[in-house]
A and B are shown apart, each in its own frame.
Chain A
Amino acid sequence: MTPKELIENFSYLTDWEDKYRYVIELGEQMSALPESECNETNKVVGCQSQVWIKGEKKEDKFYFLANSDAVIVRGLEAILLTLVNGKTRDEICALNLPEIFKKLGLEENLSPTRRNGFAAMIERIYSLINSSTL
Chain B
Amino acid sequence: MFKEDFPIFDDQLIYLDSAASSQKPKPVLDTMLSFYTHQYSNVHRGTCALASRATQMYEDARQTVADFISADKKEIIFTKGATEAINLVASGYAQTLKTGDEVLVCISEHHANFVPWQQACLKSGATFKVFGILPDGTWDMDDFNKKLTTKTKLVAIAGMSNVLGVLNPVKEIINFAHKNGVKVLVDSAQSICHSAIDVKKMDCDYLAFSGHKIYGPTGIGVLYAKKEVLEQLPPYQFGGDMIDIVSVEKTTFAQLPARLEAGTPPIAEAIGLSSALDYVQQIGWDKVQAHGKCVFTHLIQQLKEMKDIQFLGNPDLKSGLVSFNINGIHPNDLSMILSKQNVCVRVGHHCAMPLHQFFNLSASIRVSLGLYNNEQDVDTFVVALKKAIGFFK
Q: Which chain A residues have a beta carbon within 8 Å of chain B's beta carbons?
A: 16-17, 20-21, 24, 47-50, 69-73, 108, 114-116
Partner of B392, one of A49, A71, A108, A114: A71
A-B pairs with lowest CB-CB distance, top 10? A70-B330, A49-B332, A48-B348, A70-B332, A48-B332, A47-B348, A70-B333, A72-B333, A16-B340, A48-B347
Report the Cα distance A72→B194, complex, angstroms: 35
B332: chain A residues within 8 A (beta carbon): 48-49, 70, 72-73, 115-116
- Those of B337-365 within 8 Å (CB) of chain A: 337, 339-340, 347-349, 362-363
A71 touching B340, Cβ below 8 Å: no
The yes or no answer to B336 lying at the interface (CB within 8 A) is yes
A20 touching B337, Cβ below 8 Å: yes
B347 touching A21, Cβ below 8 Å: no
CB distance from B356 to the nearest CB of A (A): 11
Q: Which chain B residues have a beta carbon within 8 Å of chain A's beta carbons?
A: 330-333, 335-337, 339-340, 347-349, 362-363, 391-392
Partner of A50, one of B337, B339, B362: B362
Chain A residue, CB-CB nearest to B331:
A48
Given contacts A20-B337, A70-B332, A116-B332, 19 further A-B contacts (CB under 8 A): A16-B340, A17-B340, A17-B391, A20-B336, A21-B391, A24-B391, A48-B335, A48-B347, A48-B348, A49-B332, A49-B363, A50-B362, A69-B362, A71-B330, A71-B333, A72-B336, A72-B337, A114-B348, A116-B336
CB distance from A94 to the nearest CB of B (A): 29
Report the Cα distance A47→B337, complex, angstroms: 18
A69 touching B330, Cβ below 8 Å: yes
Chain A residue, CB-CB nearest to B363:
A48
Which of A16, A47, A50 has the most C-beta atoms of chain B within 10 angstroms of its own C-beta? A47
Report the Cα distance A106→B365, complex, angstroms: 22
Report the Cα distance A20→B335, complex, angstroms: 13
Partner of A20, one of B331, B349, B391: B391
Chain A residue, CB-CB nearest to B335:
A48
A72: chain B residues within 8 A (beta carbon): 332-333, 336-337
* 28 residue pairs bridging A and B, Cβ less than 8 Å apart: A16-B340, A17-B340, A17-B391, A20-B337, A20-B391, A21-B391, A24-B391, A24-B392, A47-B348, A48-B331, A48-B332, A48-B348, A49-B330, A49-B333, A50-B362, A69-B330, A70-B332, A71-B330, A71-B333, A72-B332, A72-B333, A72-B336, A73-B332, A73-B333, A114-B348, A115-B332, A116-B332, A116-B336
Chain B residue, CB-CB nearest to A15:
B340
Report the Cα distance A50→B335, complex, angstroms: 15
CB distance from A25 to the nearest CB of B (A): 12
